[in-house]
Amino acid sequence: MDNTPDQDVVDMHKKNIAVIGGGYISRYHIRALEKIPEVNIALSGTNHEKLSALMAEFNISEILTFEEILKRPDIDAVIIATPNKFHAPFANAALKMGKDVFLEKPMAMNTDECKIIQENAESNNRIVMVGHMWRFDEEVDQIKHLINSGAIGSIFKTKGYGIHQNWGPSGWFVSHQLAGGGALIDMGVHAIDTCRYLLGDPRPVSVYARIDTRFGKYDVDDNGILIINWSDDSTSIIESGWWHSYADGPEAATRIYGTKGYASLFPTEAKIQEGEELKSLKFTPINKSEHCDQKIYDHQMKYFVECMKTRSQPSPGIEEGMTVMKIVDAAYRSSLKNEVILIES
């Protein structure tokens, strides 16, 4: 007898998801999850004051320890929004207990940790999604569709920005032990993944970087410039930083140079060569309440839940998250050695 559940029954099943961490980013994920009718939310973390505030604000009924989450077979997935140091150990423990995993960026502290997450996901038949959320932004998709159409020709160069202007974080973000790095691993990863997504996810071939600390008395970086060569023969220049007095664009802003024209993300615009003139293209305005708008996270969480239901491996997932970490690892090595670092495929 076939014991496979009817698809309608599966779709109606409530997904119980535990959000681990009570910080700033957790609120965006909770807002997104509460808009999905088939999701129940639980909370977990170490700051009980913050968790209690979230519990009251969003009418969440449960605060669980991580150990309780692991023992609960009804918890289907975890969203890990903790300091970077805990991404891999929490993900690996959850995967071994049959939970799907959403990891805030960066995927882990380094590439070796990413590989262990991959092994546990594959051996336990679980899905892992990584929070490179700019892939769910409508303006990003406008530029991607333009590039895919061939309108600006073959892309040979991009510039991407991940910089905090006149501001920088504190707390665990400025601890190498807890974060694994500074502005590059915090902000630069947005610029790296956005460029790669727009290019069609080519493989990184080599990285040259200069990374240092200019503004604070912490043991992490707050300034960086990377040159990434891709397998499609294009090159990306990436800038990362905190506390800079000027930035050429907001988070994930990208400039794309093609053989037939030019495109810009944030501000979103494009120019196409027509004879000896450049013709400006118009895009449909996208309404946002803020640059990192809530609806980006809404799209991201809706997609994650759909992947859980259909048992589809997400994108951005392990491959995308690990590729960014390979680039970050190579960039730190390059800056230390002052040489180009080749990246293994």
Residue with tokens 């988070």: 251
Confidence of residue 19 (pLDDT cuts 50, 70, 90): very high
Average pLDDT estimate for 130-143:
98
With CA atoms as reference, report the closest residue to 80 among 63, 102, 97: 102
Enumerate the CATH 3.40.50.720 domain ranges in the chain, comma separated: 7-133+296-315
Task: Give the per-residue pLDDT at 2.
Answer: 36
Supply the mean pLDDT for the chain: 95
Start and end residues for every CATH 3.30.360.10 domain found in the chain: 135-291+324-342
- List 130's β-bridge partners, or say none: 103
Query: Domain 7-133+296-315, what fold?
Result: Rossmann fold (3.40.50)
Put the strands of the sheet holding 223-230 in their side by side order: 277-281, 269-274, 261-265, 254-258, 155-165, 235-244, 223-230, 204-212, 341-342
* pLDDT at site 6: 41
pLDDT the model gives residue 112: 98
For residue 5, pLDDT over 80 is answered with: no
List, for residues 62-100, the tens digit of each pLDDT value.
999 999 999 999 999 999 999 999 999 999 999 999 999
Summarize pLDDT for 32-69 with one digit per residue, the tens.
999 999 999 999 999 989 999 999 999 898 999 999 99
Token duo for residue 219: 């043991």
Backbone angles phi, psi at 32, to 5 degrees: -70, -45
Architecture of domain 135-291+324-342 in this structure: 2-Layer Sandwich (3.30)
Is residue 31 within 8 Å of 297, Cβ to Cβ? Answer: yes
In this prediction, residue 117 carries a pLDDT of 98
Bridge partners of residue 163, in order along the sequence: 241
For position 8, what pLDDT does the model report? 40
Q: How far apart are CA 206 and CA 228, in angstroms?
A: 6
Identify which has the larger pLDDT, 189 or 8.
189
Res. 283: pLDDT tops 80 = yes
Q: With a cut of 80, say whether residue 140 has pLDDT above it.
A: yes
Enter the pTM of the model: 0.94
Tell me the per-residue pLDDT of 190-218, one tens digit each, with 9 for 90 and over: 999 999 999 999 999 999 999 999 999 99
Q: How far apart are CA 33 and CA 18, in angstroms?
A: 10
Residue 30 confidence (pLDDT) above 80:
yes
| 3-state helix/strand/coil string of the chain | CCCCCCHHHHHHCCEEEEEECCCHHHHHHHHHHCCCCCEEEEEECCCHHHHHHHHHHHCCCCEECHHHHHHCCCCCEEEECCCHHHHHHHHHHHHHCCCEEEECCCCCCCHHHHHHHHHHHHHCCCCEEECCHHHHCHHHHHHHHHHHHCCCCCEEEEEEEEEEECCCCCHHHHCHHHHCCCHHHHHHHHHHHHHHHHHCCCCEEEEEEEEECCCCCCCCCCEEEEEEEECCCCEEEEEEEEEECCCCCCCCCEEEEECCEEEEECCCEEEEEECCEEEEECCCCCCCCCCCCHHHHHHHHHHHHHHHHHCCCCCCEHHHHHHHHHHHHHHHHHHHHCCCEECCC
The CA–CA distances, whole Å, from 201 to 162, 173, 194, 254, 321 equal 19, 28, 9, 15, 12
Of the chain, the percentage scoring pLDDT greater than 70 comes to: 97
Q: What are phi and psi of 259, to 5 degrees?
A: -70, -15
Res 13 pLDDT > 80: no
Tokens of 210: 């200069």
**Per-residue pLDDT, 37:** 95
Q: Can you tell me the mean pLDDT for 139-160?
A: 98
Percent of the chain with pLDDT over 90: 94
> Can you read off the two tokens belonging to residue 151?
């309108």
Q: Is the peptide bond before 106 cis (omega within 30 degrees of 0)?
A: yes
pLDDT in tens, 301-327: 999 999 999 999 999 999 999 999 999
**Tokens standing for residue 30:** 């909770």
Residue with the two structure tokens 């496979």: 4
pLDDT given for residue 143 in this prediction: 98
**Residue 267 pLDDT:** 97
Q: Nearest Cα to 129, choosing from 202, 79, 193?
A: 79
Is the pLDDT confidence value at 1 over 70? no
Residues near 202 by Cβ (< 8 Å), separated by ≥ 6?
196, 230, 231, 232, 234
